[in-house]
Amino acid sequence: MKKIFLIFLFCTLFCWKNSNAQAYVYHPFPYSNTIWITAIVDIQGCSQNPCGYAIDQLGSDTFINNIEYIKVLEGGTPPTFQSIVIRNDTLNKEVKMLKVGKNVIDSEQVLFDFNLNVGDTLPNSAICFKSQGIVVLKIDSILLQDGTYRKEFKLNVAYIGSYYDSLSLIEGIGYTGGFFTAIVSTDDFEGGSLLACNSVDSTVLYNFAPFGLTSCEVPSGIKQVKKTVISISPNPVTSGGDIIIKGVSENYSLTISNVLGQTVFSSQMNNSQSIVLPDSIKSGVYVCRIHTQSNLLVVKKIVVI
């Protein structure tokens, strides 16, 4: 009996060790047939929760400056190219991105860094700004839906709303707040977002259980959310300088608050009016809330230098 128990214990430990060993092998981002579905939750005036889903997926490859990138597509049928391309930097365990427009190519930046240690600050990127102090609290492994393990970087932020989940970065998948969604509130929605599902080659890897997207398909009758294109220009802006809110075609109220949530400026604006920032707004990162007449609430980040 003792011999049988020892054999069973050995097999159990061997299988556990073998499975968790997968977490120590770097898993780069996939290059095709990959879908991220992000749930948009707690939007003011929305009668259901989640209010909708945003869909991102990988498209065809493209070469820019003789470097191979993959196009990121948005939406359902058919998806559209959103002027963002990504590539794997496997050697440095990073995912790089470029924003490309007509005759314009921005500088390459780090989208995800999977070579961080506990205490490291996330790099300045599309999902995070160093000045906001998003750091790695813990590095662990997470069991995915296909039975494999990936390295998980637990962060010092958490989403609190109708759904609660500690936020993290997962190798080969990205940020659990949603693909290309900012870690700190810079979404074009009042509420928040959570990664509902991720699949590669029709195999579900990540699935946030409360949403029930077991096949990584948006439920029928649920709208697909199109991201609102509203921007602040210039950004960064100098203290006491002028800014213009672009993409708003109606009157709106503007509120600017600091990272502690304290209001430092508020005003009623028209759609084409420039805004002079008071000298009292010193260098730092601020949150702008743009509330339109049609009850759309857009939250943006502005950097004052």
Helix, strand, coil content of the chain in percent (nearest 5): 10, 45, 45
Backbone angles phi, psi at 5, to 5 degrees: -65, -40
Going by C-alpha positions, the residue among 88, 111, 254, 87 that lies closest to residue 181 is: 111
SS3 state at 226: coil
Mark residue 259 as left, alpha or beta (left: phi above 0; alpha: psi -120 to 50; beta: remaining): alpha
Q: Do residues 197 and 204 lie in contact, with contact meaning Cβ atoms separated by under 8 Å?
A: yes
Measure the CA–CA gap between 45 and 61, rounded to whole angstroms.
Answer: 39
**Structural domains in the chain?**
23-211 (no CATH), 231-304 (2.60.40.1930)
For residue 140, the cross-strand partners are 152
| Beta-carbon contacts of residue 102 (< 8 Å; ≥ 6 apart) | none
pLDDT, tens digit only, all 305 positions of the chain:
555 544 444 444 444 444 455 566 899 988 888 999 988 776 655 666 777 888 888 988 999 889 999 999 887 677 888 788 999 999 999 999 888 876 667 788 888 999 999 999 888 776 765 555 688 999 999 999 989 999 999 987 765 556 666 788 999 999 888 887 766 544 444 456 789 999 999 899 999 888 888 888 876 655 555 555 567 888 888 888 888 887 777 788 888 888 677 888 888 887 767 888 888 888 887 878 777 776 566 667 788 88
CA distances from residue 33 to 29, 43, 171, 198 in whole angstroms, order as listed: 11, 30, 17, 11
240-275 burial string, b = 16+ CB within 10 Å, else e? eeebebeebeeebebebeeeeeeebbeeebeeeeeb
Q: Do residues 179 and 97 lie in contact, with contact meaning Cβ atoms separated by under 8 Å?
A: no
What's the whole-model pTM score? 0.67
